[in-house]
Structure 1
Amino acid sequence: MSTPGPTPVDDPLARERAHLAASRAALRVMREDAESLDIRDVTANWVNAQVLARQIEERIKSLADLAGTPLFFGRLDYLHPPGAERAEGAEGERFYIGRRHVHDAEGDPMVIDWRAPVSQPFYRASGKDPMDVALRRRFGYTGGELTAYEDERLSDPAEPARTSRLLQQEIERPRVGPMRDIVATIQPEQDEIVRSGLGGTVCVQGGPGTGKTAVGLHRVAYLLYAHRERLARSGTLVIGPNRSFLQYIEQVLPALGELTVQQATVDDLVAHVEVRGADDAAAAVVKGDARMAQVLRRALYAHVTLPTEPVVVVRGSRRWRVPAYELEEIVRELLDRDIRYGAAREALPQRIAHAVLVQMERAGEAPDDRVQDAVARTSAVKAAVKAVWPAVDPAKLVLRLLSDADFLAGHAEGILTADEQKAVLWTRPARSVRSAKWSPADAVLIDEAADLIQRTPSLGHVVLDEAQDLSPMQYRAVGRRCTTGSATVLGDLAQGTTPWATRSWREALAHLGKQDAVVEELTAGFRVPADVIAYASRLLPHIAPGLAPVESVRENPGSFEIRAVASAADVVDACRESLRHEGSVGLIAADARVPELAGALTAAGVGYLGPGEETTPGTRLTLVPASLAKGLEYDYVVLDEPRAVVDAEPDERTGLRRLYVCLTRAVSGLLVTHTAPLPEQLA
């Protein structure tokens, strides 16, 4: 590995720095060219002008030269021109691999996008399979300045295989602030998932520190590169477990030049009503069960009644009569077609009107589509549709199910037990949709009902992170958003901390509507130190017996300590010790202990932030409730009172899973403080 030194003309490091400077200058020119575009005379109307202006604005943003973010992180020297015949003596090309494409004034590439096919060997080439690469060069940076490089001569059989020091340094670099991309450190098994096709759904089972979240985000970036026009029309969405998590990951895609991907929680997707209430565990489990979809369907279609009276349409001096038996045939046909309730209701007046037109034609008249539309709008037809197939409001339907014991029993018979029906019924029925204290699970039921009435629009691709904590009904809500698209499902069965946590990925994927998805497993740990993950893995036999433990591949062993303490003041002292190191520090504690620890930190004059709050230069400590720790990472973690973390959950297994999550948030060091005895499963 090279280190900084003299910079003569023939110094390789100096040449690479010169190429970096030239690439930055070329990027500035590309941005200036975009900013100088004049579209006043190239659009036909103001709508097109607005669309084009927005596209140019996004292009300008994507060409930003982000401070501290290297334009390129690697170089490939090919033996032969990629894609060309390997003629003897033909000289290969050199490509710099970076986060986005940069070209010079003549259009020749100075930096190749990491997603381009020619960049793939940077991640997958090896001594056993060099993929026609003579040399792979990695670059080291300090604050955006190129400071080192490291070469691998892949086509040289005498070159010994060795671990890249620069790669290790990048993996182990302190985590200050929000999550960053891993584009310079993607491993072959991760790259295979990232570059999997748009047509298929991929489920990634990955333990703590295996990079599953980063893999999912980079897959979105890759798909947008490979299928930009298609996904621009259909849209992409990243779904996270909570707002803190979304704030933590929100800078990854913009750093890769992707600005159009939406981010949301499941609660955001189903926000049809204001959520002001909460369910106990028993009610939430039943409401989250997939059987509730059957109950809702029964309750909805119970509104359809078979007609017993004919419809008589008056047009001018003539009366046209559609008999009840013919109306019944129309209704039964619509029911048999299994289309959405609302779509069938919209089709019914046209079907009745068509029956009238058939009679008109038999009588010698020549009606056209305008006559059919007019008949469909007559008061007689409207009254018949209202009586036979009435409009239903999804929120009012769910309100009645949860408030009316007889209505629920009539439609849950044979699906829910009497005890389950009792669990979901409100003890204080609400009088209206607006006054009801809806829970998050209720909002999901309303979303299901809304989809039964009117189809939910589908996106092109959805990334679902921390998926192990979703209920079957929540999976269905997400699945509705990608019925005609694909998904990337990310999670860890060992980290499921809800009473309805996923038991198997096959079961979850069935609820999602993606039974044919490929399930991949990541077991190499790049984030958590070996001693820390080994300690946390003691819990696996008790929380997920079938899962293989994560194997840390980090060279830096990190630090790990278990310390008995007497008071909150001792925990504050442990935080001070961790703050002496470079990087971020997380103090994770059971939710009920957070106020006491916050008071102790304030009394000691130690500044801290909450999860999701932006890190400031003088404040590197975050006080994290255990319930919000999932998906977050800190260089150093102080975990307060493991026994309290376990006891805060409704059952021991869920508590141990929550503890497993908290134990595995550290990147460089973990300090466990406790007054009460540690859980026996850690012995």
Structure 2
Amino acid sequence: MSALAIAPTFLSDFTHLTPDVQLDTLAVMRAYQAGDRPVLESVADAADPRVRVLDITPDWSGVVVPAPDAGEYDQPLDDHAGDQPDGTHYRLVTVRPRDEALRFARGLRPDTPTGAVPGGVDPTPTGPPELAGALQAPFDQWQLTLHPDQHRITETRYNGSAQVTGGPGTGKTVIALHRAAHLARRDAAVHPEDTRESVLLTTYNRTLAQSLAERLDQLLPEPGVRARVRVATIDSLARSVVQTHTSMAPRLVGRDELARRWRAVALADGLPFSGRFLADEWEQVILAKGLELLPQYIRCERSGRVQHLAPEHRRQVWETVRRYVGAMRVEGLWSYPQLAAEAARVLDRGEPLFRHAVVDEAQDLHPAQWRMLRAAVPEGPDDLFVVGDPHQRVSDNRVSLASLGINVRGRSHRLRVSYRVTQEILDWSMPVLDRRAALGMDDNADTLAGYRSLLRGPAPVVRGCDNRAEELAALGDRVRMWLESGVNPAEIAVAGRNQWVVRGIAKELEARGVPTAQLEGGGSADAVRVGTMHRLKGQEFRCVALVGVSDHLLPPKAAVEAADGDQVALEHAFQQERTLLFVACTRARDALYVSHVGRPSRLITGTW
């Protein structure tokens, strides 16, 4: 009796198959065990001439490769597991639709690792033939690589606003870049005499804006065309609009400082609400809906706010908000959404700034920021191109584009195939997110059903340590292993949840002679990038290490304490931490390493 071996990554693939294909696959394996050997078909133009495919159904095929002699990573088998008349032992790697299986088989290279990656082994993933060249190209070129099937999205003429959504690694940011470049080239051809900035490329944070600007320089080497695109964060755009039209230099306060100030106000007014609740009520209800009168606030639907507010309590909240916002104005203090609301009012009274806008990481924008964008770009063909993923939302912002005058109906694209993150990393990261659906910006439920990757690579490594010194030493060994395998230092990112962890990371690597640079600062190509998990958002690396994913550090106590005992705020805080960790994990294309001291974070164990 013999059986067909299975590669360690196959079980992950198997869980993504439909029940009928699973049954057919098991039937083929049982037949093999009974001695009814299927025909193993060779694959023309395969990188590895030993790779074979076998029929599972008329439309589905399995890909098999020779098993290593030691069989270290194979599932338990007898002495003749997967053997063929020529003496070769085979193992099943994946089951896919026939054409996709053939493409995958052609792209498999000899000795491609399917389990853990030993030191010095190149972690570059395998993928279909159309990506084979790009995967072997320098990583800065890879960061500009658009999947061949996505060119149509970037070059289409739309009758109005358009939206692109998709999970990690589906190429959303690259699509945004190519769309901005396409609009700039077209604008230069249509309006050669008008050389002003006509295209806005905007996003949520400075680090990503800087990365977008650098990559756009590569896509648009012609200075005259590049000058037509303004790359800016949404907050810097709001600041520049307000400063230009009012000669006022606003002082901005973040959410934590805002919550602290509102807490003092609540205590002074004797309100039974936390500072976080009041800050969120102001930003997520009053500013989000653009409410200017008490009757509007009393009548409004507080969508997404779980805690009920009776009319008499709304009066109390309104009066407190009105008085304190007035006090903020006197001090010259502004919250970020408040500044965007002011910028929208300024733009409504003047001329639009741009002909087109491309918005990346759109899921994190506040409704007031969307009103500003709507006022900055006149409604018409190709006005707004919106790119985001509601599952990667790290803010409390909930947006209905239609309610803000942005209609994407009939012009939305949902990307379900990832080609920038391996299936192994996705399989490990998805349970961290711990939710099945998220509300999309088009008011529809957005799910990750059917979401899969074209890339295969090593499984993520989780390392538990007894103390911090051991954790940092293990990190140093892991980074050294990646460097020895040929990964460029700038293609490696190491992150922690807070600055205390980050400082320890930088000290350990520098002590080992490994130069480091801040995630948000760019810097030398010969330096490993180091920073907080927040700074990873929107970026892409070959290898990512996350340090300090321990239960006493994640979720951080500060996030729990900031909720002030407010159960709704606490639930939001936990979900934000889940999303942040999920986003950080999926910044890696090739390899993911996670470490902790003592008990691992409940975010990765699911134990509460």
Return the TM-score normalized by structure 1.
0.53
Q: Distance in 1 between matches of 2:369 and 2:136?
A: 35
Once structures 1 and 2 are overlaid, which stretch shifts more, 519-528 or 194-203? Answer: 194-203
What is the aligned counterpart of 2:592 among 670, 674, 683?
670
Q: Check if 1:255 corresponds to 2:190.
A: no
Instruction: Write the letter of the residue equivalent to 1:562.
Output: V
C-alpha separation in 1, matches of 2:186 and 2:326: 52
Secondary structure at the aligned position of 1:270 is classed as helix
Determine if contact 2:338/2:368 at 8 Å carries over to the other structure.
no
1:465 Cα deviation from its structure 2 partner: 0.5
The 2-side partners of 1:585 and 1:294 are apart by: 42
Whether contact under 8 Å (2:128, 2:454) holds in the other structure is: no
Question: Shift of residue 513 of structure 1?
Answer: 2.5
Check whether the contact 2:424–2:460 (CA below 8 A) recurs between aligned residues: yes
Question: 1:283 offset after TM fit, Å?
Answer: 4.7
CA distance in 1, matches of 2:211, 2:142: 6
Matches within 5 A, 1:326-405: none
1:576 offset after TM fit, Å? 3.0
| 2:581 aligned to which of 647, 659, 662 | 659
Q: Structure 2: which 5+ runs fail to align?
A: 1-98, 100-126, 243-248, 260-275, 303-313, 439-446, 560-569
Q: 1:286 aligns with which of 270, 281, 285?
A: 281
User: What amino acid is the match of 2:281?
Assistant: V
| Equivalent residue number for residue 103 of structure 2 | none
Aligned-pair distance for 1:255?
2.2
Which secondary structure state, in structure 2, belongs to the residue aligned with residue 669 of structure 1? strand
Using the alignment, how far apart are the partners of 1:616 and 1:467 within structure 2? 30
Q: Which amino acid aligns with 2:169?
A: G
Aligned residues of 1:585 and 1:636 also touching (Cα < 8 A): yes
1:478 to 367, 370, 373: 373
Moved more, 669-678 or 478-487: 478-487
Matched, 1:562 2:485: no
Residue number in structure 1 paired with 2:526: 618
Pairing partner for 1:228 from 184, 188, 192 = 188
Read off the aligned partner of 2:251 and give its amino acid letter. Answer: V
For the pair 1:627 / 2:528, whether they are aligned, the reply is no
1:91-240 superposed matches below 5 A: 165=129, 167-171=131-135, 173=137, 175=139, 180-182=143-145, 185-188=146-149, 190-230=150-190, 233=194, 235-240=198-203
- 1:12-36 CA-to-partner distances (Å, cap 9, x unmatched) read xxxxxxxxxxxxxxxxxxxxxxxxx
Offset, 1:682: 4.8
1:637-656 to 2 correspondence within 5 Å?
637-642=544-549, 643=551, 644-647=553-556, 649=559, 651-656=573-578
Instruction: Quote the Cα distance in structure 1 between the aligned partners of 2:189 and 2:586.
Output: 39
Q: Helix, strand or coil for the counterpart of 1:250?
A: helix
Change (3 A) 1:617 1:265: closer
What letter matches 2:542 in structure 1? D
Structure 1 contact 286–423 (Cα < 8 Å) conserved: no
Instruction: Look up the match of 2:602.
Output: 679
Q: Is the aligned partner of 1:274 residue 2:250?
A: yes
Alignment match, 2:364: 469
Q: 1:493 aligns with which of 390, 414, 436?
A: 390
> What SS is found at the alignment partner of 2:538?
coil
- Superposed displacement of residue 230, structure 1: 4.5
- Which structure has the larger Rg? 1
Match of 2:226, SS? coil
Deviations 1:67-117 (A, max 9, x none): xxxxxxxxxxxxxxxxxxxxxxxxxxxxxxxxxxxxxxxxxxxxxxxxxxx
8 A Cα contact 1:205 1:490, kept in partner: yes
In 2, the alpha carbon distance for the partners of 1:203 and 1:277 equals 31
CA distance in 2, matches of 1:575, 1:419: 55
- Shift of residue 444 of structure 1? 1.8
C-alpha distance in 2 between matches for 1:579 and 1:169: 22
Distance 1:202 1:284, change over 3 A: farther
Distance 1:168 1:498, change over 3 A: same
Q: Which SS does the other structure have where 2:516 is aligned?
A: coil
- Alpha-carbon distance change, 250 to 673 in structure 1, aligned in 2, over 3 angstroms: same
TM-score scaled by structure 2?
A: 0.59
- 1:535 equivalent in structure 2: 428
Q: What residue in structure 1 maps to residue 417 of structure 2?
A: 524
Report the count of equivalent residues: 402
Shift, 1:195, TM fit = 1.8
Deviation at 1:552, TM superposition (A): 1.1
Distance 1:293 1:209, change over 3 A: closer
Structure 2 equivalent of residue 421 of structure 1? 318
Partner Cα separation in structure 1 for residue 328 and residue 235 of structure 2: 24
Report Cα offsets for 1:485-521 as digits up to 9, x if no partner.
411111111100112255xxxx235325335462211
Partner Cα distance (2:589, 2:403) in 1: 35
Q: Could you tell me how far apart the structure 2 residues matched to 1:601 and 1:164 are?
A: 35
Q: Which runs of 5 or more structure 1 residues have no equivalent in the other structure?
A: 1-126, 128-162, 299-408
Partner Cα distance (1:296, 1:247) in 2: 34
Does the 8 Å CA contact 1:284/1:441 hold for their aligned counterparts?
no
Equivalent position of 2:454 in the other structure: 553
Distance 2:375 2:287 in 1: 16
CA separation of 1:422/1:628 partners in 2, compared to 1, >3 Å: closer, same or farther? farther
Q: Indicate how the Cα distance of structure 1 residues 624 and 262 shifts in structure 2: closer, same or farther if over 3 A, else same.
A: same
Match of 2:401 among 499, 508, 517: 508
Q: Say what the alpha-carbon RMSD is for the aligned residues.
A: 3.3
Counterpart code for 1:195: E
Post-superposition CA distance 1:449-506 (Å, at most 9, x none): 3345x1351421101000111121122122222233411111111100112255xxxx
Q: Aligned in 2, Cα 1:601/1:567: closer, same or farther, shift over 3 Å?
A: same
C-alpha distance in 2, partners of 1:527/1:411? 46
SS in 1 for 2:544: strand
Q: Is the 8 A contact 2:158 2:411 kept in 1?
A: no
What is the CA–CA distance in structure 2 between the aligned matches of 1:295 and 1:636, rounded to whole Å? Answer: 43
